Amino acid sequence: MRADAPVAKDHRPVYIQIAETLRARIVSGFYDDKIDGELKLAAQWQVSRRTIQQALEILVREGLLVRQHGMGTFINRKGVEKRYHAIASITESLVGQGLKPDYTVLESGEVPAGEAEQRFFGLEEGAMIYRHKRLAVSDGKPLAVVSTSLNLAVLEGLELSALSGSLYKVLRERFGRTVVVADDKYMPVAADAEIAALLKLEEGAPVFLAIRQGRDQTGAPLEVSRIVMLPVPLDISIRNVGFAAAEPDNRSPAAKEWTYMVGFGDFKSDGK
């Protein structure tokens, strides 16, 4: 089976594995409107056409695909929107506040997983993860320090040192992974020496910390992010959305959609 085939050591029937991979591609925007033909897909995975047909039938029943006789198989956008909801990254939410952040890469590469990553990713001590750390600047002023740890078990070959745009876009387009479930925590903290220097604050000044643990459309743990933001007047929209899995047993406990707004004031260091 080729490198673009489903994950190795998966003992489920091949057509189910292929359906899962195609599902990820559909949700991530890999295809525009029409998916590849059955013969092309069969050649990609080196399987029979009947195996591809079985995989497509699953996705048709789920409402993600629709067949048009003599024309091919097309993505049912309404079905995709109904079943899956991508979550914006925390830094992308800053754009929604009218800010235009630019990024400077501070760190990008493989490092040993910390305790938080080991627990969330299910890794053994000494396992490697990918750490990508950036400074977000808006109008020449530092805005936030964004440190994201990514699960190399599902992102083999990841390399982000030249990344200048959206991390989530890279994960969608290059790996077919879309964050659809995220647990976020927000809390005020005091800036340590490193954060204070990067954000041009005094050490101990109040800042805001956001922590995210994100899973993709298959339920795989994908990211652990820590974002330290300046305490500027800011409304943060949080929209954590699960997805209706094909099998009820796979439904996330967080699959019910919920939305709320959190407003923050000036957070003056003198307490006034």
Q: What is the pLDDT of residues 205-237, one digit of tens each?
A: 999 998 999 988 788 999 999 999 887 554 544
Q: What is the pLDDT of residues 106-162, one digit of tens each?
A: 999 999 999 999 999 999 999 999 999 999 888 888 989 999 999 999 998 999 998
Q: What is the pLDDT of residues 69-111, one digit of tens each?
A: 889 999 998 888 776 666 667 666 666 666 677 889 999 999 9
Q: What is the pLDDT of residues 34-63, one digit of tens each?
A: 999 999 999 989 999 999 999 999 999 989
Structural domain boundaries in the chain: 14-83, 90-264
Nearest to 266 by CA among 225, 205, 197: 205
Residue type, 165: G
The CATH architecture to which 14-83 belongs is Orthogonal Bundle (1.10)
The whole-number average pLDDT for the span 3-8 is 43
- Report DSSP letters for 25-83, one per residue: HHHHT-SSSBPPPHHHHHHHHT--HHHHHHHHHHHHHTTSEEEETTTEEEE-HHHHHHH
Q: How far apart are CA 154 and CA 33, in angstroms?
A: 26
Q: What is the dihedral of CA 15, 3, 173, 169, to 10 degrees?
A: 110
Instruction: Give the pLDDT band (50/70/90) at residue 169.
Output: confident
Beta pairing partners, 239: 259
pLDDT surpassing 90 at residue 166: no
Q: According to the model, what pLDDT value does residue 110 have? A: 96
Q: According to the model, what pLDDT value does residue 145 have? A: 94
Backbone region of residue 75 per phi and psi (left: phi > 0; alpha: psi in -120 to 50; beta: other values): beta
Q: According to the model, what pLDDT value does residue 70 have? A: 85
Q: What is the pLDDT of residues 180-200, one digit of tens each?
A: 788 888 889 999 999 999 999
CATH code, residues 90-264: 3.40.1410.10
Residue type, 265: G
